[in-house]
Structure 1
Amino acid sequence: MADAKDTAAPAPTNPPLQDELVVTEHRLTLGNRALDYSVTCGTLVLREDEHDADGQRSADKPRAALFFIAYTLKNPSDSPRPITFSFNGGPGSSSVWLHLGILGPQRVSTDDMGNVPPPPYALQDNEHTLLTDSDLVFIDPIGTGHSRMAEGEKVAEFHEYQRDLDSVGEFIRLYLTRFGRWESPKYLIGESYGTTRAAGLTHHLQDKHDVFLNGVMLVSLAIDLQTLEFDHGNELPFPLFLPTYAATAWYHKALAADLQALPLGEVIAQAEAFALGDYTVALMRGSRLDAATRQRIAEQVARWSGLSVEYVLRCDLRPTEFRYFKELLRHRGQTVGRLDSRFLGFDRDDAGEKPETDAAMANLIGAYAAGINRLLKTHYQFEKDAPYVVHAPLWQKWSWKDFANRYANVGASLRRAMHANPHMRVYVASGYYDLATPHAAGDYTLSHLGIRESLQGNIRVSYFEAGHMMYIHQPSLARMAQELREFVSVRSTA
């Protein structure tokens, strides 16, 4: 009788990586205009040179397969037609948010505020799609969507700032070559950590692949993480979050009556004046702050944040973001959202320092997951039993080797790219109710890039009365979409 080990089935292995592409044809009717377009959906294999013992190049070793969805307009009137590469953040998020929120031909249905309908949710034709003015390529970084590593590769190797740039940058180069798009005006758009990636790519593409961009669109800016991390000894986030605390409290009618009577813009302007003035000076003084000044500052922080003076004092004048989500409306039994503080949540009880979940994310993720899975199978005929990873917590183990023992700040990459390519323009979208990447933190970052005065006009910042995904708010969606169309339609005359 044969040994059991002789008859046991071999251990399963993943099939070798190969390009998997499906092309389908579609039409979108927008008023009197019909958009005929093709969708290329699938994976491109990223390869790396292998060398023999003598150091000679012997083969291209497959390392990973990146999943993407590309929309290409047929018979366009503009030639060469612009192309926009899009990705989201996390790190650990697929490209689904910008795809089904504002850019693609279909979007997730929401009401005017941004609430989704009950499950199974709905998709609708997107009259605001950027496809009217640019072809679109949505990229899912490794570990998201249907992107995966080759057999034997370590997943963690790709979950690092520079390796992420390497893989996404190589995909962009490969796509431009494979699909003959080198002559097209080229744009990037990223959201949240996607702005970190996009800022890094502006210089990486120049330096590594000789790709010079026409523009980059940064949605909910996060390129200097010192502005966002509430660490002991880092005073920067406290004044930069306060204007958004004020906007949030104003929205939920938690400010004093005289402030509630003001328009939102005036509330934010006054809160910023205090935050970047007396509040910042007080924080810098630390324990040297005298008791009378400490009390006065606490009263002002409470006035603009909607918190009580007693709570601000208990926080040593420094209410962090998760404490704020829980504390502001604790007396009402509600929490406020992180990605969009207009949204309200409920916990099991009203004790504790932070909410059980982000009410804004809970509102959206089911609808976006259903939407992308429906599109892939029903419309784009991409058959895959493996789950499409909408959002994974890759940020928990993300590596920052290039920024060891200091805060990650990729602003220098954007500055170097702009100085090397003065034709490149930058569009920034910020939400007044974004408590993940507040608008004041973005403004601080932009004002500290070190961009020469002659290029300051290349940067445009727009503010929206919405949150991190400002495009779920219908008035913000319409204005932002128009601004993006204008941005990719500009041609340099220099």
Structure 2
Amino acid sequence: MIVRTLAALVLGTFLMVPHAAIAQAGKPAASEKAGDIEPQVRTRTMTGTFGGQRVSYRATMTETVLESDDGKPEAVIVTTSYVKDPRDASRPVFFLFNGGPGSGSVWLQMGAFGPKRVAIPSDARDDGAPPYPLLDNPDSLLDVADLVFIDPPGTGFSYLTRDTNPKKYYGLEQDAEAVAKVIRLWLNDNGRWNSPKYLGGESYGTTRTAMVARELEGGTYNDVGLNGLILISTILDFAGREPTPGNEMAYVVTLPNMAAAAYYHGKVQAPSVEAIVEEARQFAIGPFASALLKGQDLPDAERAAVRAELARLTGLSERYLDQADLRVTSQRFYKELLRDRGLTIGRLDARYTGRDFDNAGETPDNDPSFYGIDAGYTAAINSWARDTLGFETTREYQSIGREPGRNWEWSTGQGRGAYLNVAPYIGQAMRQNSQLRVFNAQGYYDFATPFFGAEYSLKRMGIPQDRVEFQYYDAGHMMYIRDEDRAKLSRDIRAFIRAR
């Protein structure tokens, strides 16, 4: 066995020491003891054409062991790196992860930016049954940056050891601390401390991006300067997703999504999705927000006018809107918009439709935009990691792991009763780093992380607007599923990285 040991960093409550070695096989967490873990490194040299350039690269899957301060292994983190060969330290490095919390990096890796992608329908149809072809991905960013996909604890093939307390890793701050340490140690191991660095994620991965940026840029020692944050399907201010009684912002930020979905399914008329979305933005932040905030003091005439415009923008009947007191939750909207056709629409991507057991309920049985794609992605990552890269394990790949979410600590110590908003951490990092820029990508048909909510979060005080870029796509949460938008996303991020 060949062992390569990196510098140990004492950071906070535990010590992380990565070990790199060739192991014969992984073992399930239930059987692992402190002395049994033999971390794997699997490397293949490959070539591909990305962004029109032929690139030779090394694909490497690595297990990094996180240890407690008494030397006990607590977690094993898997990273998948794609690095140009020969190594060029002047090239940017882009660290990526997905969301959840509990989601593996399969979505961004096999759907958007990895050198291979899974072929599933681009037009919001179900992915059907296997086989799911693995195709060369010319939209990978390997022509402009080396890529490092990180699976935090409890996601992908990464795991906690048998006796590890989940509270040490499953939480906003705990997770960010672990991911930041993995990044620091990857920079050590690969000699990339002075390379341009980009950090980004999708969905909760954007929340993680804000938290990890705080860890990397906010330290008093061993600070890691960043060139850019790349946010895909952003969720930073969680008030916008919780329609609890009295929280009117949840209805305000989702209204433009409803207008976009209604337009896509032919329930409202407009010159374009951009046009109907802009109308909905202006109405949502103006007359609609004002009406909701007036509560029971809302005059009848104003209520009638707001109800009529709301019906025009959403395709819902005034009678239904009146019964809902002008406040239609996203779950109800998925069911109601196409009830006359016996269809529901997707949460992650409202272009998708499904059929429920019956048509009488208030909410859908399931999300057709998730069950329409999940099998293809799961098959792709297992085939790529096990069969092509040679990663050996009896563990199941956790594309959406349950354990992190069940144990997640959502507090950031912002104060008693404070709702979660991590956008200020991005503002702080930008104010302390005059060259840090932010790229934000949003799909018009994404109800999981509404685009208007991202705009609301990133346009508030403390965030320098001259360094924030917004781009929009004619698809949903994973906009890269649509072929045209995967190409556009790749072009947009490629231009963002080159603009440094």
- TM norm. shorter chain > 0.5: yes
2:460 matched residue in structure 1? 448
When residues 92 and 185 of structure 1 are mapped into structure 2, their CA distance, relative to the original with a 3 A threshold, is same
Q: Judging changes above 3 Å, is the alpha-carbon distance between structure 1 residues 429 and 32 closer, same or farther for their aligned structure 2 residues? A: closer
Distance 2:47 2:200 in 1: 24
Counterpart-to-counterpart distance in 1, 2:113 and 2:143: 10
How much has 1:79 moved relative to structure 2?
Answer: 4.6
Instruction: Give the whole-Å Cα distance in 2 for the aligned partners of 1:278 and 1:196.
Output: 30
**Deviation of the 1:290 alpha carbon:** 2.1
Count of paired positions: 464
1:381-407, Cα deviation, whole Å (9 max, x unpaired): 011111011112343542112255221
1:371 to 358, 377, 380: 380
Which one of the candidate residues 170, 175, 178 is aligned to 1:159? 170
Q: Give 1:180-329 correspondences, 5 Å limit.
A: 180-208=191-219, 209-255=222-268, 260-329=269-338
Task: Please say if residues 109 and 117 of structure 1, whose CA atoms lie closer than 8 Å, have aligned partners that are also in contact.
Answer: no
Are the counterparts in 1 of residues 58 and 82 from structure 2 also a CA contact under 8 Å?
A: yes
Match of 1:409 in 2: 421
Deviation sequence 1:205-224 (CA, Å, 0-9, x none): 11234001011100011011
CA distance in 2, matches of 1:273, 1:376: 47
CA distance in 2, matches of 1:244, 1:40: 39
Tell me which residue corresponds to 2:61.
41
Q: 1:97 aligns with which of 104, 107, 111?
A: 107
Distance 1:30 1:416 in 2: 34
Q: Which of residues 41, 54, 73 in structure 2 aligns to 1:62?
A: 73
- Aligned-partner residue type, residue 63 of structure 2: T
**How far does residue 18 in structure 1 lie from its aligned partner after superposition?**
4.0
AA at the equivalent of 1:101: G
TM-score, normalising length from structure 1?
Answer: 0.90
- Whether contact under 8 Å (2:124, 2:352) holds in the other structure is no
Output the amino acid matched with 1:157: K
Q: Give the distance between the partners of 1:100 and 1:449, measured in 2 at CA.
A: 36
Preserved CA contact (<8 Å) 1:340 1:467: yes
| Counterpart residue number, 1:145 | 156
Report the Cα distance in structure 2 between the residues aligned to 1:32 and 1:159, rounded to whole angstroms.
40
Query: Which amino acid in the other structure matches residue 158 of structure 1?
Result: Y
> What TM-score, normalized by structure 2, do the two folds share?
0.89
Percent pairwise identity: 39
1:427 Cα deviation (Å)? 0.4
Answer yes or no: is 1:359 the counterpart of 2:371: no
Q: Residue in 1 aligned with 2:496?
A: 487
In the alignment, structure 1 residue 470 sits paired with structure 2 residue 479: yes
AA in 1 matched with 2:56: D
1:251-305 deviations in whole A, cap 9, x for unaligned? 00112xxxx1422211111111111111000000001112232222222212111
- Runs of 4+ residues deviating >6 angstroms: none
Cα 1:369–1:21 shift into 2, 3 Å: same
| Residue 86 of structure 1: aligned partner | 96
Residue 398 of structure 1 aligns with which residue? 408
Aligned residue number for residue 47 of structure 2: 27
Q: By how many angstroms is 1:31 displaced?
A: 9.2
Provide the rounded CA distance (Å) in 1 between the counterparts of 2:73 and 2:176: 17
Q: Secondary structure at the match of 1:325?
A: helix
Determine if contact 1:411/1:449 at 8 Å carries over to the other structure. no
Counterpart-to-counterpart distance in 2, 1:64 and 1:121: 32
Counterpart CA distance in 2 for 1:465 and 1:366 is 23
Cα distance in 2 for partners of 1:94, 1:489 equals 28
More displaced, 113-122 or 436-445?
Answer: 113-122
Contact 1:244/1:433 (CA < 8 Å) preserved in 2?
Answer: yes
State the AA in 2 paired with 1:174: L
Structure of greater Rg: 1
Task: Quote the Cα distance in structure 2 between the aligned partners of 1:226 and 1:366.
Answer: 32
* Aligned equivalent of 2:32: 14
Residue 458 (str. 1) matches residue 478 (str. 2): no
Counterpart secondary structure, 1:130:
coil
**CA contact under 8 A between 2:52 and 2:138: conserved in structure 1?**
no
Range 375-384 or range 22-31, more displaced: 22-31
Tell me if structure 2 keeps the 8 A contact 1:45–1:63: yes
1:381 to 373, 387, 390: 390
SS at match of 2:135: strand
| Partner-residue secondary structure (3-state), 1:241 | helix
Q: Secondary structure at 2:139's aligned position in 1?
A: coil
Whichever residue aligns with residue 486 of structure 2, its letter is L
Query: Secondary structure of 2:440's partner?
Result: strand
Give yes or no for the alignment of 1:106 onto 2:116.
yes
Aligned counterparts of 1:223 and 1:274: Cα–Cα separation in 2? 23
**Most deviating of 441-450 and 106-115:** 106-115
- Where 2:420 maps in the other structure, the secondary structure is coil
- 1:342 is matched with 351
Give CA deviations for 1:227-272 in whole Å, capped at 9, x if unaligned.
22111111002121111100100100112xxxx1422211111111
CA distance in 2, matches of 1:18, 1:411: 39
> Contact 1:18/1:65 (CA < 8 Å) preserved in 2?
no
Distance 1:240 1:197 in 2: 21
Mark the runs of 5 or more structure 2 residues left unpaired by the alignment: 1-29
Query: Does 1:424 find its partner at 2:442?
Result: no
| Cα gap change, 1:131 to 1:32, in 2 (>3 Å) | closer
- Shift in Å, 1:485: 1.2
Which residue of 2 is the match for residue 5 of structure 1?
none
Contact 1:191 1:218 in 2 (8 A): yes
